[in-house]
Amino acid sequence: MTEENDTSTQVFNVCALLRDDGVAANTAQLIVIHGRGVGQKVELNRPRITIGRRDTNHLILASATVSREHAYVACEEDRYSIVDSGSRNGVYVNGQKIPAGREWCLSHGDSLALGEQLLLFHCPQRLFNSQGLFEISIDRGKVKQEVDDLLIRVLGSDGGTQRRLVEADKTTTR
């Protein structure tokens, strides 16, 4: 049976693939995690990283399900996006097919399916940014009002409830 037709479960350790291998800890990478060449990596250190079967690509995926020039990753400052170059089998990001020719912004941990190949987008510097965790602002007045409204709905809207909320607020702000 050829590797391409193998349907058995492939077990691998993503953490082992990410261990120190001379690549800077904060360097964005694509890592092959399923299909031919598991463990193969490419650093995203150029404005454009090409992916496909052809041996002139930066990431060569030797699979009949991958087009010669399948896709490319555009790298601009700390923003990375993938573009399907008009491949036969398409590019899927986290299971969603992306339109050919359109940039699709990547976030740390995204899985990319190109034919039967599965890649992981590893970008530590985008981890918090992709989840919106760099900056969180909270409007304390709005939160307090929403909590008060919820308590009134739960406890009832008699005059005593409002008075107790005002008294509780006075004791917590001292």
Q: In what order do the strands lie in the sheet with 96-97?
A: 41-43, 29-34, 117-122, 111-114, 91-93, 96-97
What the chain holds in terms of domains, given with CATH numbers, is 3-130 (2.60.200.20), 140-172 (no CATH)
Instruction: Give the SS3 label for residue 79.
Output: strand
- Shortest CA distance to 90 belongs to which of 112, 106, 62, 122? 112
pLDDT tens digits, one per residue of 126-144: 554 444 544 456 677 777 7
Q: What is the mean pLDDT of residues 15-42?
A: 74
Residues in the chain: 174
Two structure tokens written together for 120: 């992981």
pLDDT tens digits, one per residue of 57-97: 999 999 999 999 999 999 998 799 999 999 999 999 999 99
Per DSSP, helices labelled H in 49-158 are 127-130, 140-155
